[in-house]
Chains A and B, each alone.
Chain A
Amino acid sequence: MGKGSLEGARLAKQQSEPVTVESCYAAGLDALERGDVTNAQAWAQRCGALADSAKDARYAALQGRIAAVTGNFTEAENHFRTAMRLSPREKGFARQFVEFLQTAGRLNEAVALLEDLTRKDPPEADLLIDLGYVRLANGDRIGARKAVERAAALQRDNKAIQYSLAQMYAAIGQPAQAAKVLSEKFGDQASPRVLNELAGLLLHLERYDEAELTFRALGKRDSTAELMVDHGIIWSRIRRSDWRGALDVALNATRLDRHGVTTQFLTYAKDRLFRQPPNAPEREAELLQHLRDEMREYAELHASEAIVG
C-alpha cells in the first residue's frame, strides 16, 4: 500500500525543515490524525522548548488537542481558551474548541460558542450548520431550523448545505419541507442515497405519485436496488388503489423474489383487485413494514456515499 514510503517521506520532510512552532504544530496534528499520541506529545514538547511558543496560539491548540484525545478535558479546555485568547481573530482555534466541546458532549457551551462565532456578518455557513445540529441535539428545534435555514440562504447552490436543511426539516417533523428541498435542490443530480430518503419522505406524506417516480429514478441509478424499487412502486400503487397496476409490477417482480416478500405484495394486490379482504389493514401494515425494513437497510448500506451523482 506504500504506507511505509509515505511515512518515510513525511518524516524526511519533517526532519529537513527547521524546527519552528509552525512545523511542530503541523507534525503534532499529523501524528494525532494517525492516532500516534506519543509522537504528538513529543512534538508538543519540542514546541514548548522553543522560545516563542508560550505566546503562540498554535502551541496551546496542539496541547489542547492532545489533552482532549487523552481524556484530560479540563486541561484541554484551558489550552483551547488560551489559544483563543492569544489569537482572537483566528477562527480556526475557536472551531477546534467547538469541536472539542461537541466531541465531549458539552452542548450548552458549544451552542454558546457557536452563537458567538456566527455573530459576524456574513457568518460562515459551516458554522451555522454545526450550530443547527448542536441546537437540535440540545433540544432547541426552532433555533436549530433557523440556523440551518440561514446557512442555506447564504449558499443556495451548495448541495451539502441544502441536504443538511432537508435533514433538519425531517428531524424536526416537517417532512413536506424536507421533501421540497430534496426535490427542488437536487433534481436529476440526486444520488441513490438521497433518492431513497426522498422516497421515504414522500411515502410518509402519502404523495404516492411522486413516490413512484422517485423509486423509478432510484431504480435507474442503482440496479442493485431493483427489488426494493419494485416493492416501493407496488406499494405506491396499492395506496392509490391502482390494484391492477400494482399486480402488473408484482407479477414481473416475483422473478426477483427470494424470501416470498414480493409474493405477499402480489397476493395482496390480486386479492384487492377482486374483493376487500377482512384482514386488509394487518396485511398492509406488514407490507409497509417490509418496505421500511428494506429502505432502512439500503440507507444504512449507503450512508457514507455521496449525495450527488
Chain B
Amino acid sequence: MAVQSRTLPPVGPEFTVRIAAMPADRWAKCPQCSAFVYHKRLEKNLKVCPECNYHFRLSARERIGFLVDPDSFQERDADLAAGDPLHFEDSMAYRKRVADSQRKTGERDAAIYGTAEIGGLPIVICAMDFPFMGGSMGSVVGEKVARAVELGVATRTPVLVCCASGGARMQEGTVSLMQMAKTAAALGKLAEVGVPYFSLLADPTYGGVSASFATLGDVIIAEPKAHVGFAGPQVIEQTIRQKLPDGFQTSDFLMEKGQIDMIVPRAELPSVLKKLLSYHVKPPAPPLTSVAPKSGPREGTETRSAWACVQLARHPDRPNLSEYIAALFDSFTELRGDRHQRDDPSIVGGLALLDGRPVMVVGHQKGRGTKQSIERNFGMPHPEGYRKALRLMQYAGRVGLPLLTFIDTPGAFPGIQAEERNQSEAIARNLLVMSRLPIPIVCAIIGEGGSGGALAIAVGDRVLMLENSIYSVISPEGCATILFKDAASAPRAAEASRLTAGELLKLGVADELVPEPAGGAHTDVAATAAALKDALRRHLDALVGVSGAELIERRYARFRAFGCFQ
C-alpha cells in the first residue's frame, strides 16, 4: 500500500538535531497506554500507537507529509507572519509568544497551505499546526485558509483543510473572531463555483475553528477519538453542573449525532481522500442521445393483478438499495448524517461511479431480516433522514454531479419525535429543492413508493419503475380502511389506486418500466440490476448534455402538468 512508502518529513532543523542528540527520544511514550514505541515503528505506523491505536497529534508538516504524494506539496505564502493588532500583552508580549512558538516549531504560524496531489489528483491543502500556540486561529491562519480556498476557486481545484485547533487566538481579539466570517465567506465562493471542500477533523478541534471552516465541509472526516466541539467539556460541565458522559464530543459521538460523514483511521486517509477526489474528476462526455428509449411492459405483465404487484414489491427477499448499489456501481462512498440530529439509517446516500461516471446516490434502505429491518426502521425515514438526503442533493447540485435516487419505502415514519422535528417541513423542503437543482435527476422506484415519504426523493427529470414496484398516495390497506371501510378490501383498493408501474406509465407519472424476471426481482437480482443499470445509463446519457437551466425548466413543466380537471 502507498502508506508503506511514505515517510514523515522533518519538522525542521532543530528537531533533527534534537533527535540525533537524544537516544531517549527514539522511544515515544504513548499518552494513552503508556507503552514505549520505537520512533521508527511509530513513524511507520503514521504516529498511531501500534499497541492501543492512539493517534498521536501531528504537526502540520507531518500531516501533509503522509497525506499527499511524495514531493508533490508546493507551499504557498510560507513567509506570512502574525502582526500584533492589539499590542497585546499578558504574562508575555504577544510578539514574543509568537516568536517563541516560531522557534519551537520551525513554523511561521499555526497553518501552512499549498498545492499537492493525492493519488495523482490535484488538491489545495491547508493544515493546522497544533504545536504552534495550540493551533489557534489568528490573522495568519484565517488568511491562509481563505487564500487556500480562493486558490481552489481560481483553479477549480478541490480544497482540503486539516483542522486541529483550540479555537480563535485571544491575543488578536476581535480580529481573530473575524477570521471565522472571512473563512466561511471564502467557502461560500467555493461552493458557488461548484468546487468541493473536504474537512478533516483531528484532535482537538474547538471554538472558532469548529464553528467556521471545520464544520462546513461537503464531506467531513474525523480521525478516531478526535475531540471536536464548540465549547470545551470543562466549560459545559461548569455551566450545566453535570458530569458529561464518556465519549462526549469524540468522533464516535459526532458520528452518532450526524455531524460528520465518516471516521477514518490515519493510515486509510490517503486512499479515502483519493477516492473522494476521483468522484470530482469530470468524466468524458457520453455519446449524444436525444431521447432515451422507452421500454414497454414485459409480455404477460399486464395480467398480474395490482395486489400481486404489491406483494412482490414487499417481498421479504426483494433486493434492497445496498444490494443494487453493490451491483450497479464501480465504487461507492457512503456519506452520513444530516449535520444536525443524527444519521438516519433508513436513508443511505453517497458518491458513486456508474461506469466511471461520478454520481450522487440517495435512496431508502430497508433491512434484510428482523434485526436489520428494525435497524433500518423498515425503510421509513425520520426528518433527519430527509435532511441527510437534502444535504447530499444540494452537494450534488453545487458540484454538478448527476443525482440518482432509489425509492423503496412504505412511507415516512409516523412518530412523535418525527413530528416534533417537523417531518412535514423536511419532506416539503426536499420537494422544493429538488425541483430547482441544476443537475440531471433520475429516480428509480425499486420497491414500495409510499406517498410523501417516497416523493421526498423522487422529484426528478425521469422516473423509472421496476416492473413490480408500486407508487401510491396511500397504502392499499390504508385506502381500504378509509374509503372502503374494510381493511380486507386492500386488493380492491390496490386495483382502484392504479399504483402499478404499468398504470403509472400510462398516467405519465413514470417514464419507463424496467422489466423484472418472471418471478420478480428477487429471483434474479443480477438480471434486474442489469436492466436497471441499462435504463439509468440511457436516461443519464440523454440528460447530461442539457443545461442546468433547461433541466429546471423541463422539471418544472413536468410536475406543473400533473392534474386532471375540467
> A residues engaging B (CB < 8 A)?
1, 32-37, 69-71, 99, 102-105, 125-126, 129-130, 133-134, 136-137, 160-161, 163-164, 167, 171, 223-224, 226, 258-261, 296, 299-301, 303-307
Interface of B is mostly: mixed
Q: Which residues of A contact B23 (CB under 8 A)?
A: 125-126, 129-130, 160-161, 164
Compute how far the CA of A221 lies from the CA of B22 in the bound complex, rounded to whole angstroms.
Answer: 21
Q: Which size class do B's interface residues fall under?
A: 35 or more
If A69-B4, A167-B29 touch, whether A307 touches B22 (CB-CB below 8 Å) is: yes
Q: Does B370 contact A (CB under 8 A)?
A: no
* Chain B contacts with A in 241-273, Cβ cutoff 8 A: none
CB of B40 within 8 A of CB of A103, answer: yes
If A36-B71, A259-B235 touch, whether A167 touches B104 (CB-CB below 8 Å) is: no
CB of B35 within 8 A of CB of A71, answer: no
CB of B36 within 8 A of CB of A105, answer: no
Q: Does B559 contact A (CB under 8 A)?
A: no
Compute how far the CA of A152 lies from the CA of B70 in the bound complex, rounded to whole angstroms.
Answer: 40
CB of B234 within 8 A of CB of A160, answer: no
Q: Does B95 contact A (CB under 8 A)?
A: no
B170 to chain A minimum Cβ distance, whole angstroms, is 10
B33 to chain A minimum Cβ distance, whole angstroms, is 12
Contact of B238 among A33, A137, A260, A301 (CB under 8 A): A260
Q: Which residues of B contact A104 (CB under 8 A)?
A: 41
Q: Does B416 contact A (CB under 8 A)?
A: no
Please give me the residue from chain B that is nearest to A259 by CB atom: B234
Contact with A along B25-60 (1 / 0, CB 8 A): 111110100111110110010000010000001000
Q: Which residues of B contact A103 (CB under 8 A)?
A: 38, 40-41, 44
If A34-B71, A69-B5 touch, whether A1 touches B24 (CB-CB below 8 Å) is: no
B54 to chain A minimum Cβ distance, whole angstroms, is 10
Interface of A is mostly: helix
In the assembled complex, 27 residue pairs joining A and B whose CB atoms fall closer than 8 Å, in A order, are A1-B78, A34-B7, A34-B9, A37-B5, A69-B4, A69-B5, A99-B38, A102-B40, A126-B23, A129-B23, A129-B26, A130-B38, A133-B36, A133-B38, A160-B24, A160-B25, A163-B22, A164-B24, A167-B27, A224-B92, A260-B238, A261-B234, A261-B238, A300-B31, A304-B11, A304-B18, A304-B131
Compute how far the CA of A305 lies from the CA of B41 in the bound complex, rounded to whole angstroms.
Answer: 20
Please give me the residue from chain B that is nearest to A257 by CB atom: B238
CB of A137 within 8 A of CB of B70, answer: no
Q: Does B498 contact A (CB under 8 A)?
A: no
Q: Which residues of B contact A105 (CB under 8 A)?
A: 41, 50
The A/B interface has a contact count, at CB < 8 Å, of 110
Compute how far the CA of A301 lies from the CA of B97 in the bound complex, rounded to whole angstroms.
Answer: 16
Q: Does B297 contact A (CB under 8 A)?
A: no
Q: Which residues of A contact B38 (CB under 8 A)?
A: 99, 102-103, 130, 133-134
Q: Does B303 contact A (CB under 8 A)?
A: no
Q: Does B75 contact A (CB under 8 A)?
A: yes
Compute how far the CA of A91 lies from the CA of B21 in the bound complex, rounded to whole angstroms.
Answer: 19
Q: Does B91 contact A (CB under 8 A)?
A: yes
CB of A32 within 8 A of CB of B36, answer: no
A154 to chain B minimum Cβ distance, whole angstroms, is 12
List 5 A-B pairs, minimum CB-CB distance, nearest first. Answer: A260-B238, A259-B234, A164-B24, A160-B22, A35-B7
CB of A71 within 8 A of CB of B36, answer: no
CB of B22 within 8 A of CB of A226, answer: no
Contact of A1 among B6, B75, B234 (CB under 8 A): B75
CB of A303 within 8 A of CB of B27, answer: no
A190 to chain B minimum Cβ distance, whole angstroms, is 14
CB of A129 within 8 A of CB of B24, answer: yes
Q: Which residues of B contact A304 (CB under 8 A)?
A: 11, 15, 18, 25, 131
Compute how far the CA of A224 lies from the CA of B131 in the bound complex, rounded to whole angstroms.
Answer: 13
Q: Does B478 contact A (CB under 8 A)?
A: no
B68 to chain A minimum Cβ distance, whole angstroms, is 11
